[in-house]
Amino acid sequence: MRKATAESSVASYAGRKIWITGHRGMLGSAMVRSLADENAELLLTSRAELDLTDRLAVLAWMEKNRPELIFHIGAKVGGIHANSTLPAEFLYENLAIQSNVIDGAHRFNVHKLVFVASNCTYPTNAAQPISEDALLTGPLDPNIRAYAVGKIAGIEMCRAYNKQFGTNFVAVVPPNLYGPGDNYHPQHSHVVAGILRRAHEAKHSGDAELVVWGDGTPRRELLHVDDLASAMKHVMQAPTTHDLYNIGCGHDLSIAEIAMTIADVVGFKGKVVYDSSKPNGTMRKLLDNKRILALGWKAKIGEKSGLSSAYQDFLDRYQTPQLRGYAQA
Ligand code: GDP
């Protein structure tokens, strides 16, 4: 725990130069939305303009553009399948990207940086709810170990730079995210997007059953992406005294409860059935959110309204070539 100082907080975003890495992704675009009315100068770099794995290019860009605050979101992300087949790419690219951005933030005197880690950084046998202190206390899920180790290195880099150079770099750990901008790929999506899509398709093809993976008993803590963006804004502004914050809503739901809520939102009237040939994965990973509550933030978007906004996003994008392509996959 560090002392809160004036340097660790940000009084206002107005007029500040803010770099959001990964602004085209689900969380990055939520971050852009959440900062739209702050009169800040948003610095946004597409992959074509700036390859974040290229150290010299990143340093040259930072020297020229001089961001004052950074939301470091850009990373190679993917589902369990991509993670288990491409572990080298996940580890190399994410280590390179975060080393370049975090070290650059120190070299160019960035006032504060917020880095997004992942709940897979915690050991699979961590006590529930999982506190920030559980980091590096046990074995990781072997399917996503390379990705998790990359994110752990990012958290540790924030800590190390704070310790050695007195920087203000803070990492946040979200639970399972959902919301506008999600990936609705039939096999590669996460639980909410996967079930939303199948519920929609089952409804429209008049199927009697909605198939849900696993046996319905694992529990997941869901967080709407706009809630995570608001938490990150809060962490950036608040006088943080820790270098790691869990951003949880404080409760989880069984997969069966999630499926029934989604069926309700979509208007699917048939039966929910379970495909036990698909893995349950981790049974529970509820985050301890005491630390972020003490900093004065709490989640505002309930599951019912959050899932409705996610479904609306799905409907808006369903006819796009991208999602039609997925339908044929
Ligand atoms: P995880 O939290 O990293 O395991 O990520 P997911 O968001 O993929 O959630 C996986 C959990 O949801 C497992 O218990 C799955 O069995 C269950 N699940 C049920 N239906 C689906 C689905 O359509 N897609 C995914 N990804 N998971 C599903």
Would you write out the chain's pLDDT as a tens digit for each of its 329 residues? 666 565 678 989 999 999 999 999 999 999 999 999 999 999 999 999 999 999 999 999 999 999 999 999 999 988 777 888 899 999 999 999 999 999 999 999 999 999 999 999 999 999 999 999 999 999 999 888 999 999 999 999 999 999 999 999 999 999 999 999 999 988 888 999 999 999 999 999 999 999 999 999 999 999 999 999 999 999 999 999 999 999 999 999 999 999 999 999 999 999 999 999 998 988 999 999 999 999 999 999 999 999 999 999 999 987 665 555 444 32
- Spatial neighbors of 300 by CB under 8 A, at least 6 apart, are 227, 230
Half-sphere exposure of residue 164: CA atoms within 13 angstroms, side-chain side: 9
> Which conformational region is residue 161 in: left (phi greater than 0), alpha (psi within -120 to 50 degrees), or beta?
alpha
Which among 29, 40, 15 has a CA at the least distance from the CA of 228?
A: 29
- Indicate whether residue 191 lines ligand 1 (CB < 6 A): yes
Q: Specify the 3-state DSSP secondary structure of 128.
A: coil
What is the CA(213)–ligand 1 centre distance, in A?
Answer: 7
Which among 23, 299, 48, 27 has a CA at the least distance from the CA of 183?
A: 27
CA dist 155 and 117 (Å) reads 7
- Indicate whether residue 218 lines ligand 1 (CB < 6 A): yes
Atom of ligand 1 lying closest to residue 144 CA: 3
